[in-house]
Copies of this chain bind each other. A is one copy, B any other.
Amino acid sequence: MPVPPQILHRETVARTRLFRVEQLELRFANGHEATFERLSGSTDGAVIVAALDADDHVLLVREYAAGVERYEVGLPKGLIEPGESPEQAALRELREETGYGARRLQALWMLTLAPAYMQHGTRIVLAEGLYPAPLEGDEPEPPELVRWPLADLAGLAARDDVTEARTLAALYMIRERHQA
């Protein structure tokens, strides 16, 4: 394994309501020094929920995505609140965004978004045994539920409004696990 660089200095260089940017000065094992910026955050701060119904359809939601200024269809997800386990956060987000609860919840792989410059981590939670259990969320407009067959991920990836890497990775990983 490679020898990790030494962190010479770290400093917060910007902070907004949602983001904190940290600057790191690193010295690599070969003597090179370099300055990096990264978005700070909790490394296990979020969950993404793959909820499967009895017909092996997955529950997706269509929501306005301010980052790309259009509607995006993807898996329910959200931050883990203080004191919650990943499974508890997943159940809450699932109920808020889709109106369904789940009898079985299982935290699986950890995903990162851009490990070079984001600390953020997202845990994939598999949810099965669904039942109606709506919970009021804080969304500015109610997400629209979209059911999609897990068998047709190529068709899902071909949609212009399905682009989020976490949603696609999680669904392929879950499907392969199901087939194993």
Contact = CB atoms under 8 A, between A and B. Distances in A.
Contact of A71 (B1, B30, B68): B1
B64 A2 contact: yes
A68 B39 contact: no
B169 A165 contact: yes
Contact of A121 (B18, B112, B163): B163
Contacts of A32: 140-141
B118 A67 contact: yes
Interface residues of A, number: 72
A149 interface: no
A38 B66 contact: yes
B65 A37 contact: no
B63 A116 contact: yes
29 contacts: A14-B14, A16-B23, A18-B21, A18-B37, A26-B140, A36-B66, A38-B66, A38-B67, A39-B67, A65-B112, A65-B115, A67-B112, A67-B117, A68-B115, A68-B119, A72-B115, A109-B157, A109-B163, A111-B165, A111-B168, A112-B165, A113-B166, A114-B166, A115-B164, A165-B165, A165-B166, A166-B169, A168-B173, A169-B172
Given A36-B66, A110-B163, A29 B141 contact: yes
A109 B5 CA distance: 34
A165 B113 contact: yes
Nearest to A119: B67
